[in-house]
Structure 1
Amino acid sequence: MPAAVDIRRAAERAVTKTSWLTSRHSFSFGDHYDPANTHHGVLLVNNDDTVEPNSGFDPHPHRDMEIVTWVLQGALVHQDSAGNRGMIYPGLAQRMSAGTGILHSEKNDSHTLPVHFVQMWVIPDHSGIAPSYQQREIDEQLLRGALAPIASGIPGRDAALMIHNRHAALHGARLQPGERVELPSAPYLHLFVTRGRLTLESDSDRPDTVGEGDAVRFTSCCGVRVGAVEPSEILVWEMHAALGS
């Protein structure tokens, strides 16, 4: 059975804009609620955020959520009520398990440069776990020309970060023009283009092209390939369950 492919263009995303934040939402978020767009698989949030210099998110609470942050440009400073502190920058991935409840802040300490990052939320297998934090450098070679495991909770899968969801894994790849990768086979797949332009292999004479900020939601994905038209980076969630299943 061929994969169902749902392309969501960057310009179609809901946007929250303040004096210091521009946040583009792939799914319903905050005041932007669409009952037909609340999740894909177990992925609930895929926010593409830009925070201006000397600003950021003041301490705010989270509960029962696995939150993975991937910085594209600049640096983001994290502090939380469990005593964790870290600076996240391109090539370093962060995971925060909110569990029974945690307060955290995210700040751009630069006086001159904005910080641009993607933040993704998946539900944990069980509610009420102890809050925890992890950040790991992802070796650049692992993100060059092939999918690299960034975060996973799938049993037997090694990744830089561990998440508390046994049905989900996050992969990343940086591709040069002409390079191609095969996406994981899974009931649910979410591809997000952080930069560049790629083609999706298909039986059509005119394959679909996706660019920066575009997302693709696959259902029953098997053997799908993407190829870079220009230097590109992608984030791919592989999911073997959906909310409510």
Structure 2
Amino acid sequence: MIELRKADQRGRGEHGWLSSRHTFSFANYYDPAQIGFSDLLVINDDRVSPGRGFGKHPHRDMEIFSYVLEGALEHKDSMGTGSVIVPGDVQLMSAGTGITHSEFNHSTSEPVHFLQIWIAPSVQKAQPRYDQKNIPEAEKRGKLRLVLSPDGAEDSLVLRQDTRVYAGLFDGAETAKLDVDANRYVYVHVARGSVSVNGVTMGEGDGARIRNERELTLSNGDDAEVLVFDLRNIEVSELWS
């Protein structure tokens, strides 16, 4: 079953320097029907003006990763990490016992467009850590490339949760299939362009909760960039019980 949520149904945050779309409840946007999906709690689609950004602020017990679509994002944190994240990079920060960080548009002339995604960790009070990896376009072109996993399989970054995240680029006749275990959920987010998922057309910003599908086929892409989350078959309410 594919439960489609269109881009224009997301929450909105307009702050002058920041234009944000919230797939799930976040900050001042609250919808009791949209409080994450399995361990996936936040997908924020953010556009930040040149030279602006998020000042130093804390996190704890959360797996947070950023995926830049356009521009460059500058990261600094209390572990002493400093980096610039550009398209093709996957940045993962495990907040663990606590970390402070800032995220700014690295450019003084061009906007930055990126996704920030939160996943609930499987362990609490772990040692904070940071990792970043560039995934060449060729490894995502017409396929689903594993970028995050609990065991670092296929040269992916290690996530503290039983979640696997894939990234793919699809255009024209390019097609990829993903086998799904009977006891798993899947979430698909279209970061840009459009693509068909098991015959359902999804456009930029659309998302889909997927249950009881044993195989996913992504096809008919039009300059599509897609993230696919292979998740535990658990409802969000069970995380807090």
State TM-score, norm by structure 1: 0.92
Query: Which residue pairs with 1:158 in the alignment?
Result: 154
RMSD: 1.4
Q: Distance in 2 between matches of 1:135 and 1:229?
A: 27
Query: Which residue pairs with 1:36 in the alignment?
Result: 33
Query: Which residue pairs with 1:130 in the alignment?
Result: 127
Q: Which runs of structure 2 are paired with 1:135-146 in the superposition (5 Å)?
A: 135-146=132-143
Query: Is 1:25 aligned to residue 22 of structure 2?
Result: yes
Q: Which runs of structure 2 are paired with 1:217-228 in the superposition (5 Å)?
A: 217-228=209-220
Per mean C-alpha deviation after superposition, the further-off stretch among 63-72 and 187-196 is: 187-196
Query: Which residue pairs with 2:115 in the alignment?
Result: 118
Q: Is the 8 A contact 1:77 1:86 kept in 2?
A: yes
Query: Which residue pairs with 1:208 in the alignment?
Result: 200
Give the counterpart of 1:235 among 227, 230, 236: 227
Secondary structure class of the residue paired with 1:118: strand
Quick one: which amino acid aligns to residue 43 of structure 1? Answer: L
Q: Distance in 1 between matches of 2:225 and 2:137?
A: 12
Quick one: which amino acid aligns to residue 228 of structure 2? Answer: V
CA offsets per residue over residues 82-120 of structure 1, 9 Å max, x none?
111110000011000000111100001211110000111
Q: Distance in 2 between matches of 1:67 and 1:150?
A: 14
State TM-score, norm by structure 2: 0.93
Say if 1:184 and 1:44 are closer, same or farther in 2 by CA, change over 3 A: farther
Query: Is 1:107 aligned to residue 99 of structure 2?
Result: no
Aligned length: 235
Shift, 1:220, TM fit: 2.2
Query: Which residue pairs with 2:42 in the alignment?
Result: 45
Quick one: which amino acid aligns to residue 31 of structure 2? Answer: D
| Structure 1 stretches of 4+ moved >4 Å | none
Q: Which runs of structure 2 are paired with 1:79-118 in the superposition (5 Å)?
A: 79-118=76-115
Q: Distance in 1 between matches of 2:220 and 2:89?
A: 23
CA offsets per residue over residues 28-82 of structure 1, 9 Å max, x none?
0011112221111110001111000010000011110000110000000000011
Shift, 1:156, TM fit: 7.1
Q: Distance in 2 between matches of 1:228 and 1:105?
A: 38
Query: Which residue pairs with 2:164 in the alignment?
Result: 169
Q: Is the 8 A contact 2:84 2:106 kept in 1?
A: no
Q: Distance in 2 between matches of 1:80 and 1:156?
A: 23
Q: Is the 8 A contact 2:145 2:166 kept in 1?
A: yes
What is the identity percentage for the equivalent residue pairs of Structure 1 and Structure 2? 39
Query: Is 1:196 aligned to residue 216 of structure 2?
Result: no
CA offsets per residue over residues 160-210 of structure 1, 9 Å max, x none?
311111x10110001121111113404211111111111232xxxxx4311
Quick one: which amino acid aligns to residue 109 of structure 2? Answer: T
Q: Distance in 2 between matches of 1:158 and 1:180?
A: 20
Secondary structure class of the residue paired with 1:96: strand
Query: Which residue pairs with 1:178 in the alignment?
Result: 173
Q: Distance in 2 between matches of 1:97 and 1:23?
A: 23
Secondary structure class of the residue paired with 1:224: strand
Secondary structure class of the residue paired with 1:228: strand
Query: Which residue pairs with 1:204 in the alignment?
Result: none
Q: Is the 8 A contact 1:138 1:160 kept in 2?
A: no
